[in-house]
Amino acid sequence: MAGRRVTGFFTDSTLCIGCKACEVACKEWNEVPDDGFRWSGLSYDNTLALGHSTWRHVKFVEHDATIGAGGNSPDLMTWQFSSDVCKHCENAGCLEACPTGSIVRTEFGGVYVQPDICNGCGYCVVTCPFGVIDRRPDDGRAFKCTFCYDRQKVGLEPACAKACPTGSILFGDLDALERAADRRIAQLHAAGMSDATIYNPKNSSVGGTHAFFLVRGDPKTYNLPPDPIVPVTLLKPAWNAVAIGAAAMAIGSLLAFALGGRK
């Protein structure tokens, strides 16, 4: 689209120190309510997943070291952090499924829920292949990361990227970020961190995401699905089945009454 600036997030988990400044900045700027003050006991992660009131979520991935990968010490477990966020899919399940037109694509390419239109039908919740969007029980509407649409409108970067002290969350033009990610991964591989990989499911039906990640090891340990499916790809078999079911019902009813209607 001419003149459209497609922006993105590149979250480089090798630079993340798990400070959660992104979570805090997001909450403050967007006035997101608290998500409970409870200890999960799972590393330092007390929110556990993205949700209606957790739009940035720092994962704390602890596991045994793979010796030789990226200079891991045999004496220490590995501890990695990665700040998760709505993926702002190229083909977004929530956006396609939204019956009110509340969820829209912004001029920056992000996926945005218009809070004055959402009526809380909950259909986006079951059509997001990443389990991001959710309905806030006490409010009734669905919420997720807005990609700081309000800030982007006036030329500011999203609050999380602004607050990130290490440059782990990079914001900018999507194309430029993808090139930066390629350079970064080459640099890491050259330095011996052979398990570093980019997560951006371009070959899935989602067709790539505007928020993509650099993680170490298998993206599955970060609950990142290897082949996310955007549910609109299922519409064809589904409506074919409707045609079969409807035809069977119509013909069957007519036949039944033609055979035994008067008795």
Partner 1 sequence: MITENRLEELRRNAVPMKPESGYYGMPLLKEPVWTWEVPAYFFVGGAAGAAAVVGAAAQIAGADRGLVSDARWIAGAGAMLSGPLLVADLGRPERFLNMLRVFKVQSPMSVGAWTLTAFGTFASAALFADEMRKRTQLPVQLIGDASAILSAATGLLMATYTGVLIGATAIPVWSQHVSVLPVHFGASALASAVSMLELAGHNQKALNILGLAVAAFETYMGYRIESDDSEASEPLRRGMTGITTRVGAFFSGPLPLLLRIARFRKAAAASSLLGSLITRTAWVEAGRASSRDLRVPLALDGRNAAGARNQIGK
Q: For residues 146 and 22, give the distance between their C-alpha atoms in angstroms, rounded to a whole number.
A: 14
Other CB atoms within 10 A of residue 191 CB: 11
Burial 202-234 (b: 16+ CB within 10 A, else e): eebbbebbbbbbbbbbebeebebeeebebbeee
Q: Considering only residues 65 through 104, tell me which ones interact with partner 1, judged by CB under 8 A.
A: 93, 96-102
Residue closer to partner 1 by CB (options 156, 198) is 198
Taking the complex as a whole, how short is the minimal distance between the CB of residue 177 and partner 1, in angstroms? 24
Taking the complex as a whole, how short is the minimal distance between the CB of residue 28 and partner 1, in angstroms? 18
Residue closer to partner 1 by CB (options 155, 260) is 260
Q: Count the alpha carbons within 13 Å of 66 in the hemisphere toward its beta carbon.
A: 11
Phi, psi values for residue 25, rounded to 5°: -60, -40
Among 6, 44, 122, 193, binds partner 1 (CB under 8 A): 122
Among 5, 71, 117, 186, binds partner 1 (CB under 8 A): 117
Residue closer to partner 1 by CB (options 183, 262) is 262
Q: Considering only residues 186 through 205, tell me which ones interact with partner 1, judged by CB under 8 A.
A: none
78 and 63 in contact (C-beta within 8 Å)? yes
Q: Considering only residues 202 through 261, tell me which ones interact with partner 1, judged by CB under 8 A.
A: 217-218, 220-223, 225-229, 231-232, 234-235, 237-242, 244-246, 248-250, 252-254, 256-261
25 and 159 in contact (C-beta within 8 Å)? yes
Taking the complex as a whole, how short is the minimal distance between the CB of residue 204 and partner 1, in angstroms? 11
Identity of the residue numbered 118: C
**Angle value at C-alpha 92, between 123 and 203, nearest 5 degrees:** 135
Residue closer to partner 1 by CB (options 3, 260) is 260
Q: Considering only residues 27 through 56, tell me which ones interact with partner 1, judged by CB under 8 A.
A: 34-36, 38, 40-42, 45, 47-49, 51, 53
Q: For residues 83 and 15, give the distance between their C-alpha atoms in angstroms, rounded to a whole number.
A: 10
- Applying CB under 8 A, the site for partner 1 has a residue count of 87
Tokens 């640099």 label which residue? 187
Residue closer to partner 1 by CB (options 57, 184) is 57
Among 4, 17, 28, 62, binds partner 1 (CB under 8 A): 62
Taking the complex as a whole, how short is the minimal distance between the CB of residue 183 and partner 1, in angstroms? 27
Instruction: Decide: is 172 part of the binding site for partner 1 (CB under 8 A).
Output: no
Burial of 26 (0-12, 13-18, 19+ CB in 10 A): buried
Q: Considering only residues 131 through 170, tell me which ones interact with partner 1, judged by CB under 8 A.
A: 131-137, 139-142
Q: For residues 50 and 4, give the distance between their C-alpha atoms in angstroms, rounded to a whole number.
A: 28
